[in-house]
Amino acid sequence: MDLDTAGAASRLMTRLDDFSAFTDEPGKLTRLYLSPSYRAACDQFAKWAVEAGMSARIDAVGNVRARYEGKSAGAPALMIGSHIDTVRDAGRFDGNLGALAALAVVEQLAEKGIRLDHALEVVAIGDEEGVRFSTAMTGSRALAGGLSATAMEAKDKQGVTVGEALKAFGGDPERAYSARARGVAAFVELHIEQGPVLEAKGLALGVVGAINGATRMLVTVTGLAGHAGCVPMDLRRDAVAAAAEMILAVEARAKAEPDLVATVGRLEVEPGAVNVIPGLARFSLDVRSPRDEWRRRAVSDIHAAATQIAARRHVETVMQPVHEAPAYVCDARIVAGFDRALTGMGLPAFHLPSGAGHDTMVMGALAPAGMLFVRCAGGVSHNPAESITGEDGALALAALTRFALEFKG
Ligand code: HGY
Ligand code: MN
Ligand code: MN
């Protein structure tokens, strides 16, 4: 099939720049789930989908769902997509590349009037990052029918719940639990690797074999605020000093085991005055491993260490789980499909694990799911310096398109 993939790829790269203008923070890319910029991005994505000849709608939880029918209406669909919410001060490619590339696959077919035996469903997913609310993967969990009973009650820093934010966004929390996608034969996602392996191997593309499982927790340490000048060191109940010792214990535990990683990405101190011994510290904890039992064991060891430190320092500590996603082994048929696409292009079918979490690990509960990675410069991600070359973008789109054409539902 003589598709104009080169043209579609160059349009894709331009679109990624245009799409990055939808941000909550001028001068950087921060598009938090259900924010005004997230709404504008959803509307723009839906507009592009309709212009590409698809039907498009925004579902109850703020995912954009677009459909390109196959030869016969209502055929099972290959669903292709990724998330369009971002972290703070994000790169332009994390998530957005996969969603916009899915659109580009359909545009190539639509401009030639090509219909496949299966339908194509393009999805721009919300809340993969889980930065605004304590939950994560709300959009894909709704699509896969795996939303937790409390998902709508999670709050952001201003105390707004997901349910309230959805209503303000134009979504419908009451229908969140019936937003499960139907008629999906498989789900695939193109994503930047967000690590250095492909670049180190000199490869543009790789096929994901498995995605690390992740646990996220909110740790609260409560001590006693006091006058910085008057309380002797051995009589203090300093919440931040205790949290600091706990954070070093987290790092030591993660270093003790291969492939285990643990990160404290956020630390809040109260009252936060230069001359007050902090009475409260709150920090986030993110623990990941390819093996769920190793991850759970590490979380329990970290909990034991924090409890000991708290007792010795006469502070209280609470570790509240806020997100857990088990490790996901990508479906062998999807992996084989991407292998065929790459070898058909004369490229090695290199397999690698994903240290980052992705919607794919949740969508695997709905249908066979898998991922294609594209090299990113220096493996840098969750950083405005995140970038891919136009050539690699074109190769990634060609491989994704080939997969979609050859897919047998
Ligand atoms: O945190 C992650 O792994 C992903 O970027 N949300
Ligand atoms: Mn991310
Ligand atoms: Mn991502």
Which CATH number covers residue 53?
Answer: 3.40.630.10
State in Å: Cα 129 to ligand 2 middle: 6
State in Å: Cα 237 to ligand 3 middle: 39
Kindly state whether residues 317 and 363 are assigned to the same domain: no
Q: Are 154 and 134 in contact (CB under 8 A)?
A: yes
Domain end: 325, 343, 378, which one?
Answer: 325
> Could you read off the pLDDT of 280-335 as tens digits, one per residue?
999 999 999 999 999 999 999 999 999 999 999 999 999 999 999 999 999 999 99
Instruction: Answer with the residue of higher pLDDT: 409 or 11.
Output: 11
Nearest atom of ligand 1 to the alpha carbon of 130: 6
pLDDT at residue 259, as a whole number: 87
**CA of 311: how far to CAs of 199, 316, 355, 397, 405, in Å?**
46, 7, 34, 55, 61
Kindly state whether residues 137 and 236 are assigned to the same domain: no
> Could you read off the pLDDT of 388-402 as tens digits, one per residue?
999 999 999 999 999
pLDDT at residue 134, as a whole number: 84
The two beta strands, 213-222 and 316-325, are: antiparallel
Task: Report whether pLDDT(1) > 90.
Answer: no
Mean pLDDT across 250-270: 96
Distance CA 364, CA 381 (A): 24
Task: Report whether pLDDT(371) > 90.
Answer: yes
Mean pLDDT across 328-348: 97
Domains: count for the chain: 2
Which CATH number covers residue 304?
Answer: 3.30.70.360
Atom 6 in ligand 1: which residue has the minimum CA distance? 129
Q: What is the pTM of this model?
A: 0.90
Kindly state whether residues 95 and 235 are assigned to the same domain: no
State in Å: Cα 192 to ligand 3 middle: 8
Neighbouring residues of 103: CB distance < 8 A, sequence distance ≥ 6: 45, 48, 49, 52, 66, 122
DSSP 3-state of 183? coil
* Domain range enclosing 269: 213-325
> Could you read off the pLDDT of 19-77 as tens digits, one per residue?
999 999 999 999 999 999 999 999 999 999 999 999 999 999 999 999 999 999 999 99
**Residue 167: exposed, middle, or buried by beta-carbon count in 10 A (0-12, 13-18, 19+)?**
middle
Kindly state whether residues 140 and 188 are assigned to the same domain: yes
Q: Which of 89, 128, 287, 383 has the most ligand 1 atoms within 8 A of CB, as the residue to mutate? A: 128
Kindly state whether residues 302 and 243 are assigned to the same domain: yes
- Model confidence band, residue 409 (pLDDT cutoffs 50, 70, 90): confident
Q: Are 148 and 362 in contact (CB under 8 A)?
A: no
Question: Can you say whether residue 330 is alpha, beta or left, with left for phi > 0 and alpha for psi between -120 and 50 degrees?
Answer: beta
Kindly state whether residues 303 and 348 are assigned to the same domain: no
- Model confidence band, residue 4 (pLDDT cutoffs 50, 70, 90): confident
